[in-house]
Structure 1
């Protein structure tokens, strides 16, 4: 276990980021996340400012989030606030994109929506594509050489796929900065499937999306509390009634740690990921000031070894 500082390295790139990033999947998304109904543009502005006030200036977005609105809103927030931030975005290798050169056009479009000349981390959003990993890595290297991108990463890649990407980029003397995958106490595939170990071996950051399992690890959907959300989010969180009951030992272990440190369940869940390995950078969402405050409270303290182990074993039981 290690969580010496509240800063983490973005692989071997030389770029340092806060140990906790901020996911902006929900920003501008009117369908799944209810932008404009359950939260507003003003809510995002307040959340953004509070993140920066607490040193959380690493934001992850993508061209497909809110059909480009997430990038636009993030760019507007940066211009209105004025403080420097670190931006990660993603290229979507959609079926209609047959040429890896289309990545450069998509990159230009993302830069325009963000209103910046350079993206700090540019990632391939998923591996399922007609485009080859080698071809995509070659074009990412071109993007770095052009100065439009500082570092490059992948997302949802298996251990084998990320090793291939790493090896191809090495031909260009460019490190693979990161692999962004789903990782939480409820979704520990990166451990079981060798992705976390590959990140350790290759010195690649593991950017953990959905670190709170779409809100489930906050405890608000426990029996007797709020009902599960819409069918889309229920499907994504993979949480049925039986699974809810099985999770009670986990919540009990998390609650004990939360009370000991005067923290929330969400803060315990995030701190557990941070304590797992120095390569892990969770990126919880923040669409309101309350969520931003809760995220910030996951830093500046650490679970004891006994608490960490108790929580880990509770989920495996």
Structure 2
């Protein structure tokens, strides 16, 4: 399967009419835009973000993913869109907190606020950020359907949903003649649970895109933390130990995850995999990160990785994952190397 393939268009409904739009094979996650914890204002600035945005569009990467909690990210994306002027595809998310009891109104109010921050009249893909213990799936899908028919949303998706929850969301939306467009879950070479927990199979069966967040495992799969003199960021420990979503964390008990060092932070354990990635990268004149992204792209046509980018170098490296393909033998070799270090 070619990493430069053309994807099947997504179906959208507006004012009762069906339209289609094509999502590129690779998107850009912009959650870190404007976030001071990720270096905004120190390691990168608004001008860096604008140059990153422009390079993404120059490379054909016009799909950007953000979310309601990342208010600064939404504002920066909206500003970039205004300054540059070229059309883009925007994905955002509603994060249902435990304290909201207004239900449908909460989602619709959050959507209006995102539209204002993004300075757009409609969002191309609006997703539920995670399953809610208080808001029923049917209620959330009903609210999304209302947003679609109001012309504020073109397509709807979910995030961090298990296969059974995906099917429930899909069935509810079908009542309104609206397809479930996507499920966004953590998926990368070091976190392959969607292959075994039914999520990837459900995406194939229901013709739903699997948007893969953290496709480079928070930078681990770039190889930049291989050296002993380069400590991994502290938040990686917290993120990988807690990993709150039961549909993506696998079968390791919570206490074991909390007390043990995550595999992705064990340099010696990962090194045999990096040796394989490095050899294949050298053969294609690519980077380890580009090989890791290409591995995901070749895995299945339903997968859309959304690596982050906060500067032109990162955006250029992401774009370099397209336009070429691993051989089937190389893809299998990488997969087997990952299994060997489990």
User: TM-score of the superposition, structure 1-length normalised?
Assistant: 0.95
Q: Check 1:283–1:252 CA distance in 2 against 1; reply closer, same or farther (3 A cut).
A: same
Q: Which one of 233, 237, 240 corresponds to residue 236 of structure 2?
A: 233
1:281 pairs with 2:285:
no
Partner of 1:155: 159
Q: How does 1:230-269 map to 2 (within 5 A)?
A: 231-237=234-240, 239=262, 243-269=266-292
CA distance in 2, matches of 1:310, 1:181: 24
Q: How does 1:286-305 map to 2 (within 5 A)?
A: 286-305=309-328
Partner of 2:64: 59
**Greater alpha carbon shift after TM alignment, 94-103 vs 130-139:** 94-103
Output one character per residue of 1:34-86: Cα deviation in whole Å (capped at 9) or x when no partner: 21122211111111000000010000010112xx1100000000000000000
Partner of 1:3: 2
- Check the 8 A contact 1:216/1:237 in 2, yes or no: no
Q: Check 1:283–1:30 CA distance in 2 against 1; reply closer, same or farther (3 A cut).
A: same
- SS of aligned partner of 2:104: coil
Partner of 2:48: 43
Report deviation, 1:140. 0.3
Q: Which contiguous aligned blocks of 4+ residues in structure 1 show a shift greater than 3 angstroms?
A: 4-7, 9-14, 237-242
Q: What 5-or-longer segments of structure 2 have no aligned partner?
A: 13-19, 242-261
- SS of aligned partner of 2:266: helix
Q: Check 1:10–1:188 CA distance in 2 against 1; reply closer, same or farther (3 A cut).
A: farther
Partner of 2:23: 17
Q: Once superposed, what is the RMSD of the aligned Cα atoms?
A: 1.5
Q: What 5-or-longer segments of structure 1 have no aligned partner?
A: none
Count of residue pairs brought into register by the alignment: 312
- Check the 8 A contact 2:157/2:180 in 1, yes or no: yes
Partner of 1:71: 74
Partner of 1:30: 36
CA distance in 2, matches of 1:48, 1:93: 29
Report deviation, 1:224. 3.4
CA distance in 2, matches of 1:4, 1:38: 32
- Check the 8 A contact 2:126/2:153 in 1, yes or no: yes
Partner of 2:251: none
User: TM-score of the superposition, structure 2-length normalised?
Assistant: 0.88
Q: Which one of 80, 83, 91 corresponds to residue 83 of structure 2?
A: 80
- Check the 8 A contact 1:10/1:178 in 2, yes or no: no
- Check the 8 A contact 1:50/1:293 in 2, yes or no: yes
Report deviation, 1:12. 5.2
Q: Check 1:95–1:71 CA distance in 2 against 1; reply closer, same or farther (3 A cut).
A: same
1:126 pairs with 2:125:
no
- SS of aligned partner of 2:51: helix
